A and B are shown apart, each in its own frame.
Chain A
Amino acid sequence: MIDIDLQRKQGTFSLHAKCVITEPVVGLFGPSGAGKSTLLGMIAGLIRPNAGHFILDGECLFDSMRGINVPLYKRHIGVVFQDSRLFPHLDVRDNLNYGFNLLDGKNQRLGFKQIIELLEIGHLLTQKPHQLSGGEKQRVALGRALLISPRLLLLDEPLASLDVRLKRQILPFLRRVKDEINLPMIYVSHAIDEILYLTTQIAMLNAGKILTVGSFQEVIRDERALALAYASGLENVLHAQVLAHYPADGYTVAKIGAQPIHVPLVNVPVGRMIPLSIAASNIALSKQKIDGVTIQNQLFATVTAIQRVEKGVLVTLDVGCLLIAEVSAKAISDMQIELGASLYCLIKTQSISLVSN
């Protein structure tokens, strides 16, 4: 459990973050300049808060009233930076071992071999950081932070300096870390889809204040939170199970809840879960099932929320999981869509993409 109440003034910007996080893996989401990195820096011990307290699993690491400020090298909190910060004079093996070798044997909960296999970096051990690609650097940086067996792992926009292709290569590794290593994580990003790929638990930060903490579904009930998610380009991330492949026709059938969904052909074994990304603006709504259209996917849905945003209306739908569609305000009034109404979501197969690969 993380109990945060931290304040810091930097010029005209003032940050006052107050929240209690009970979920192990949380995405810290907010627009650029919201204070995400500052908050993360204060949690790590890189930046000294002006006032407040920070308690991690019952241990007080900072308390301005009691004069407690545990230095960062004693906090045992792993940090993965946006710019990887690998030591340029050390090869990959020595980078990975830097913190690992400072631990007592009994505190080395995560083994060297386990981590290099998990992150697939075994073939890079003798290379110097400048010989690595951006994605490889981030995997090594992640491994280096994991090898200190941290009690909390902070990821400060670890994918921000990578292009989309590389992002999609790294995300599955982050997911693996989450699934295979039971480690509390705070993942900072201004891209909501990255966060949703890892977790549905979100803390929303804007202009130095935490707006809400909770599941994505709860968080976006807050108008301001929804507007922020919308402004960052709203992408739905759904986890679907592969049912069958139709290579001749170029598509795969998967299921969300009990409903089948057609997605572009993927090379994933039947039965496996795949993360799908669908832009909110690519979902159309219909009151009844339509025959004679080229759109393959017509998912039955119940309306759970309707919220106005800048250019239109966001309709939150339950299709077995949460899905957000962006439609025009006129359509909502013409079709008389209300809370609790039953609808069909129309999604073109080609507008669905797989988050990894």
Chain B
Amino acid sequence: MTDSIFLLSAAEIEALMLSAKVAIFCTLAICVPGIAVAWLLAKKSFLGKSLLDSVVHLPLVLPPVVPGFLLLILLGSQGLIGKWLQQAFGITVAFTWVGAVIASAVMAFPLMVRSARLAISQVDSGLEAAAQSLGARPLRVFFTVTLPLAMPGIITGLILAFSRSLGEFGATITFVGNVEGETRTLPLAIYTYTQIPDGDMAAIRLVVISMVIALGALMLSDILERRATRRIGRGVRPSHD
């Protein structure tokens, strides 16, 4: 009896593993561009900055089905880019796990950018100027001063993005559908189980797993952030004491 309640079925394990894979690749994919866009928004002023800012944040305020549908139009097998990718390289992203990564990356990107941007803008520009006065070129300053000092916020951003990716539903189901073993991630699996008779128990198991993962991610984020903050010293700007 207990076995049947707590033991995951093969399909459930598959959904869990797929979710983990999608979330990990999504986080990896947005890490570098997220930091780059965050740096642009935090430190630079340029024409079209507010437009870039708005576009990056759009997925946060749109119903997820909208970005999902736009992705379908662009990257779907009949889409503008999707068709070209298919013909030129034989690559299909629609209805594949790679498509699920793209969908959740689009949705998680603004969370990453927001968090990293705040962290980068809080790095004292006086320290960056001091580093330059010591002979470091701007790129070196970024990697040796800005990035380490912004690390707590960047870690938070990555974990938020990871969690968002695990929970992504609307854009994913719109763009890549609900294909078992390929695009049926944890939330999609839960949804599927709620739609079939006798699926409640399986749905509940997956709900509990989702909650445990989410809680774990938040706690891990807290620990990592605290550790990173300790590494860079108590105050980011040591002055007037």
Contacts and interface: CB of A to CB of B under 8 A. Distances in A.
Are A and B part of the same complex?
A: yes
Contact of A88 (B136, B144, B238, B240): B238
A156 to B, nearest CB: 11
A165 interface: no
B133 A130 contact: no
B126 interface: yes
Interface residues of B, number: 29
B133 A129 contact: no
Nearest to A79: B133
Contacts of B238: 83-84, 86, 88, 129-130, 137
Given A85-B126, A87-B145, A102 B237 contact: no
Given A79-B133, A102-B134, A89 B240 contact: no
A73 B234 CA distance: 28
B134 A88 contact: no
B82 to A, nearest CB: 44
A46 interface: yes
A213 interface: no
A170 B232 CA distance: 26
Contacts of A130: 233-235, 238
B149 A89 contact: yes
Interface string B118-144: 000000101101111111111010001
B239 A46 contact: no
A148 B134 CA distance: 7
A78 B132 CA distance: 10
A72 B233 CA distance: 27
Interface string B28-46: 0000000000000000000
Given A83-B126, A88-B238, A128-B233, A77 B149 contact: no
Given A44-B133, A46-B133, A81 B232 contact: no
A343 to B, nearest CB: 44
A85 B238 CA distance: 7
A133 to B, nearest CB: 8
A88 B149 contact: yes
A100 B130 CA distance: 13
Given A73-B137, A84-B238, A161-B239, A89 B129 contact: no
Interface in A61-101: 71-79, 81, 83-89, 98-99
B72 to A, nearest CB: 44
A103 interface: yes
Q: Considering residues B145, B148, B239, which has the most beta carbons from chain A within 10 angstroms of its beta carbon?
A: B239
A142 interface: no
B241 to A, nearest CB: 6
Contact of A73 (B132, B231, B236): B132
Q: Considering residues A87, A129, A161, which has the most beta carbons from chain B within 10 angstroms of its beta carbon?
A: A87
A58 B237 CA distance: 37
A145 interface: yes
B240 A99 contact: no
Contacts of B233: 88-89, 128-130
A79 B133 CA distance: 7
Given A89-B148, A89-B149, A99 B134 contact: yes
B128 to A, nearest CB: 10
5 contacts: A79-B133, A85-B127, A89-B232, A102-B140, A129-B233
Given A72-B132, A85-B127, A145-B133, 10 more contacts: A72-B133, A73-B132, A73-B133, A84-B239, A85-B124, A85-B129, A89-B149, A103-B135, A128-B233, A130-B233
Q: Which 6 A-B pairs have CB atoms at the shortest separation, nearest pair first?
A: A99-B134, A88-B233, A83-B239, A89-B232, A85-B130, A130-B233
